[in-house]
Amino acid sequence: MITKQSLEYLFNPLIRVVPEKDWSKIKAIWIPLLHHDYKNTLEKSGEIIILQKTIDRFGTEQGYLTASNENYIPYLTTFFNPLFTQDEVLEKIVQAHDNILTIQSIITDATGEHIIRKTIIGVAKSGMMMTIVTNQDDKIIDAFPIFNHDKK
């Protein structure tokens, strides 16, 4: 069962820091797993920056996620439609999880007997595709929309 707690990262900017080995400086800061910014609140407050943003017909946003610090690493990622509430996002993830289009990858442990991670592509009722990642307990650890490059 998907809960907000289990997918908290999708909605909150968990910031990760990678320092140099001797801590002389920080070599990288990035914001992993953030995939929803309700009404662009984080962006409007300046907490995050999305560069070169584009929007598809599902309202999915794609752009380079970063923040106002030279050590942040921008990376190309996607966001659920900012007009969706968190509940709506979770509902669409459940829909996509129940409607799997394809299994993208299955990763096993060294013995090859136990699945430790699985990545699937599912589709919500609206037709929006998304990538869903599950762990060894088949629990969803990440979900993000696939940007649709078709014209609106």
Partner 1 sequence: MNEQQKKILHANPTEIQKADCVDSVNQIKNNETAYDFLPKISGSKGGGDRDTLKKSELGPLASTDPGVFAENVGQDKISSHSVETPKQDVHVIVTKNKTTNRYNICQPMTYDFYLLYLLCTETLTTTSTDSKKNSGIEFYKNSSIPCLVTPQLFINKNKGYIELFSIYDLTNNSDDLCLPKSPKFIMTAKNFMNFMVQKAQLHQQQPDQFFLVIDSQGHAHLTTDLQSLVKVSFFTSLQKKLASLFTRPAK
Number of residues engaging partner 1 in binding (CB under 8 A): 49
Q: Which is nearer to partner 1, 90 or 140 (CB)?
A: 140
Termini Cα distance of the chain: 33
Q: Does 51 bind partner 1 (CB under 8 A)?
A: yes
Q: Does 100 bind partner 1 (CB under 8 A)?
A: no
Q: Does 9 bind partner 1 (CB under 8 A)?
A: yes
Q: Does 59 bind partner 1 (CB under 8 A)?
A: no
- Judged by CB under 8 A, the chain residues 20 through 49 that form the site for partner 1 are 21, 23, 27-28, 30, 32-33, 47
Which residue from 15, 40, 94, 97 is in contact with partner 1, where contact means CB under 8 A? Answer: 15
Q: Which is nearer to partner 1, 18 or 83 (CB)?
A: 18
Q: Which is nearer to partner 1, 49 or 90 (CB)?
A: 49
Q: Residue 144 pairs with which residues in a beta bridge?
A: 131
Q: Does 57 bind partner 1 (CB under 8 A)?
A: no
Query: 43: closest CA among 78, 67, 59?
Result: 67
Contact 69, 54 (CB under 8 A): no
Binding region for partner 1 (CB under 8 A) out of 12-20, 53-61, 80-88, 91-99: 12-20
Q: Minimum Å distance from CB 140 to partner 1?
A: 11
Q: Does 117 bind partner 1 (CB under 8 A)?
A: yes
φ/ψ of residue 143, rounded to 5? -155, 130
